[in-house]
Chains A and B, each alone.
Chain A
Amino acid sequence: MTAQVMPGPVRAPIGRLLRSELRWIYRRPRTLILLGLLALYPILFGIGTQLVDAPVRANGDQSIVAAVAGNALMLPVIVLSTTMIFFLPLGTTMTASDALAGEASHGTLRGLLLAPVSRVRLLAIKAFGVAVVSAAAALMTSLIAFVTGLVIAGPGSLVSISGTTLPVGEGLWRVLLATGWVIVQMWAVGAIALAVSASTEHPLLVLASVIGGLFVFGLLSTIPVLDWMHPFLITESWDSIVDVLRDPILSENLVTGLLRAVCYIVIGYSLALARMITKDS
């Protein structure tokens, strides 16, 4: 055999790895089922409120539910605020749990590390996958809700909770702002979920601990004695999403919530990186 010269470090193109990761995520049946449910939810919610409203409207009045949910500004924000406490974190955590713990349990993480994909790079690829899925899920849900609202109530119905009516362009901008804010919150959940995912081979453990953790956070934030703890809870600012519906937007709590999410992202990925580098796989 001829003497072969050792080549320098070689890496697979990052674009190819990211595409391959996304293809893998979007081929998974459970991802598709969850996205399907998220797409149906705003439509059902919009139709549901109109059905509730129908008997009231027959008397020439309008019910409070329809007033709250029956327009293209309110519906997306209400839909986001209800999905962000369960379905969106579920989707995010599920993707994160499959990303490392799931791959480890199938023995496929070994294959990637042996190819080799360096550990830091692998974490970056996984973080990208989780971020794309949570962002796409939130964006899809809110846009479907926006369109549903327009179809049901028409373009002249974008009433803020301060009582002013907004043009469609301004309404869409507000909806996108709310969506962006929710996406950052989901990235925070994803960061923590990936850190847990890097520490175990059991995907269910990731799901249970993160979703369970969010539930416990929700409980803790209702206990007044523990108010010193509240600023540290990621869920603390999740109610503030309705502030985008005020005219003008009440930004104080939204900004606090954003900073809190960024802290969670930094801490989550630091932990995930530390675990990933030393992990035996």
Chain B
Amino acid sequence: MTFAEAEAGVGTASAVPTPVLAARTRGLRKLYRNTVAVDHVDLDVPEGAVLGMLGPNGSGKTTTIRMMLGLTTPTAGEVELFGARLPEAAQAVLPQVGALVEGPGFHPFLSGRENLLRCAAAEPLLRSSAIAKAVDEALERVGLSGAASRRYRGYSLGMKQRMGLAAALLVPRRFVVLDEPTNGLDPAGTREVRTVIADLHAAGTTVLVSSHLLSEVEATCTHVAVLHQGTVVAQGELRDMLEASNAGLLVSTPEITAAVDALRDNRIPARPMPDGLLVDLTSTTAPEVVATLVRADIPVHEVHKQRTGLEDLFAQLTETS
């Protein structure tokens, strides 16, 4: 495909509301000698999404990310970034991708600023005259301006992690990949990473965050993909997945027994709870439940969906085998 064709295609593509994918993998597989690290990974990262890649240690998160960025050659399968195949399109696509993979990597004998200057020299989208400013801004953004002229050797774990983040953010990106970005960070640092992700999301950047911390993903992501033993066991919008994962409605009412009876008469399963009842929503909907209760003259104080959270979902998805 020539770029003229790609350009001509933009007009028609924007007319049809098909979701653009920032990243797409199909049948991704990686064998290390005789060990299958990753298999059948079909991952979709919609443009503009913040996708949390969730999985226990050793579930293939990092291997998948490395293949998505062309660092590791897949044994089988294909990777596309913004519709362009890797590794062929690497030179066109990767300049717009920022990544922190497998922890920060810098030279201990250079200062933070010198390390970033070296990274910046290799960035195709940075003009030589803009390098110094880009480095200072990136340092400022991750709160390292004060330590910029100190040697990287003396940085704390959290500062090193911030340096990794700064390198990923040297250039305005279309897609940012962060592998375990909050490793080694204190609570304040964790909050800052969340802010950075939220800022990127607000600016329209697609973000992929891998984590084994569920709360992290729940707090920052719009989409989730769960990896387990090298395969994707679930993926989709966070909201949908949370809804699908539990089907309980908590109704608080003083007349518990009457309420349970009224619902059972209408074949809606429910069970008493300390100050109300829990209604199973697998065969019905929330408005239906409320209407049934009101029709039976049951006083309803409050109705809300029970949120089991990602914790349960994660447990369901990864602890079955």
Chain A residues close to B by CB (< 8 Å): 1, 3-13, 16-17, 19-20, 23-24, 27-29, 106-118, 278, 280-281
- A residues in contact with B113, CB < 8 Å: none
Asked whether B107 lies within 8 Å of A280 as measured between CB atoms, the reply is no
- A residues in contact with B42, CB < 8 Å: none
Binds A, one of B66-74, B230-238, B284-292, B303-311: B66-74
A109 to B118, CA, bound (A): 12
Query: Which residues of B from 79 to 125 have beta carbons under 8 Å from A?
Result: 82-84, 90-95, 97, 99, 101-110, 114, 117-119, 121-125
Q: Which of A19, A23, A112, A115 has the most CB of B within 10 A?
A: A115
Closest chain B residue to A281 by CB distance?
B71
Closest chain B residue to A113 by CB distance?
B71
A115 to B71, CA, bound (A): 11
Q: Knowing A12-B122, A27-B110, A27-B114 are in contact, say whether A107-B105 is a contact too (CB < 8 A).
A: yes
Chain A: minimal CB distance from B202 (Å): 11
Closest chain B residue to A10 by CB distance?
B124
- B residues in contact with A3, CB < 8 Å: 10, 13-14, 20
Asked whether A115 lies within 8 Å of B90 as measured between CB atoms, the reply is no
Asked whether B91 lies within 8 Å of A110 as measured between CB atoms, the reply is no
Asked whether A118 lies within 8 Å of B92 as measured between CB atoms, the reply is no
Chain A: minimal CB distance from B33 (Å): 13
A20 to B107, CA, bound (A): 13
B55 within 8 A of A: no
- B residues in contact with A108, CB < 8 Å: 105-107
Asked whether B167 lies within 8 Å of A9 as measured between CB atoms, the reply is no
- A residues in contact with B94, CB < 8 Å: 114-116
A140 to B20, CA, bound (A): 58
Asked whether A107 lies within 8 Å of B3 as measured between CB atoms, the reply is no
Interchain CB contact (< 8 A) of B167 among A17, A29, A106, A111: A111
Which 7 A-B pairs have CB atoms at the shortest separation, nearest pair first?
A107-B105, A9-B91, A1-B204, A20-B121, A115-B122, A10-B124, A116-B94
Closest chain A residue to B177 by CB distance?
A114
28 contacts between A and B (CB under 8 A): A3-B20, A5-B3, A5-B7, A10-B92, A10-B125, A13-B128, A17-B122, A23-B118, A27-B109, A106-B105, A107-B103, A107-B106, A108-B105, A108-B106, A110-B71, A110-B101, A113-B71, A114-B69, A114-B97, A114-B99, A114-B101, A115-B122, A115-B123, A116-B70, A116-B90, A116-B95, A117-B122, A118-B90
